[in-house]
Amino acid sequence: MTQNHVAGMEASAVSVLKRAVELDQNGRFQESLVCYQEGIQLLMDVLKAVKEETKRGHFRERIKGYMDRAEQIKAHVNQMKEDGKYHEEIKIAEDSTGYSYEVLFKPYISSALTEVWVEDPYIRHTHQLYNFLRFCEMLLKAPCKVKQIHLLTSQDEANSSQQSSALAELKDSLSTQGVDLDLQYSSTIHDREIRFDNGWIIKIGRGLDYFKRPKGRFSVGYCDYDLRQCQETTVDIFHTKHTKSL
């Protein structure tokens, strides 16, 4: 492994761990834990490549420090979950970027996740249907084995045929991936909530529809939602030991 390659890995580790510390200081513990784990793994890869004993000692010391903090956070999060008191708040600022579904939901997805409930009254118009499709695609790519997705939404009275045909097509497509889409409509639904059967509950003020419309079809952010500007909203994350269906 070349010197430049090792330096690159170290720079990546520093960047990820810097983010972990920022999230830790802001009380976003579950997210910080994921970053600590990723950063520690990167540092361990660097350690394997370094031959000089002085540098190896330096990296071992850094790794131990980050591992100790990660274990403290893990114990704190587990205790909060056990007590039913876990609550985390993420504020997404107007025009901010970097909040794709992959980024937002990653800390709460685990191998134990098999069933998801989505309660969102605004899965009706074309862009909202695409949002839900992207959310489903994110689950398919994630390190979990989701077998069923429940969607509770409101019916688009102005153009119900488009909504119905789009969701029917998505249901058929998901079935080819071994996932069942359970679809229900409600005329009184108002709240927005996403629930995972591993205990995590994510409430987004705007539901899945928090992205701004891109300036054009060939503008940055049109395809990559990490680069898409967001509307201001708040995300509240809770954890419960008893996940019930909607």
Average pLDDT value for residue range 215-239: 95
* pLDDT, the chain, mean: 92
The rounded distance, in Å, linking the Cα atoms of 77 and 30 is 7
Q: Mean pLDDT throughout 42-54? A: 90
Which of 29-38, 40-49, 199-208, 236-245 has the lowest average pLDDT?
A: 236-245
pLDDT band at 233 (very low <50, low <70, confident <90, very high): very high
Query: Which residues, in sequence order, are bridge partners of residue 195?
Result: 117, 201
The answer to whether the CB of 192 falls within 8 A of the CB of 121 is yes
Q: What is the DSSP letter of 200?
A: E
Can you spell out the DSSP letters for 18-45?
HHHHHHHHTT-HHHHHHHHHHHHHHHHH
Strand partners, 100: none
Average pLDDT of the segment spanning 92-105: 96
Q: Where are the alpha helices (DSSP H) in the chain?
A: 3-25, 29-49, 53-83, 101-105, 126-141, 160-175
pLDDT digits (tens, 9 = 90+) for 115-134: 999 999 999 999 999 999 99
Q: What is the pLDDT of residue 4?
A: 79
- Which of 197, 35, 179 has its CA nearest to residue 115? 197
Q: pLDDT of 124-183, one tens digit each?
A: 999 999 999 999 999 999 999 999 999 999 998 887 889 999 999 999 999 999 999 999
Q: Give the type of residue at 116.
A: V
pLDDT of residue 139: 97
Single out the residue of 207, 220, 192, 237 nearest to residue 80, CA to CA: 237
Identify the structural domains of the chain with CATH numbers, from first to last.
3-83 (1.20.58.80), 88-239 (3.30.870.30)
Task: Look at residue 244 in the predicted model and tell me its pLDDT.
Answer: 47
Q: Are 70 and 194 in contact (CB under 8 A)?
A: no
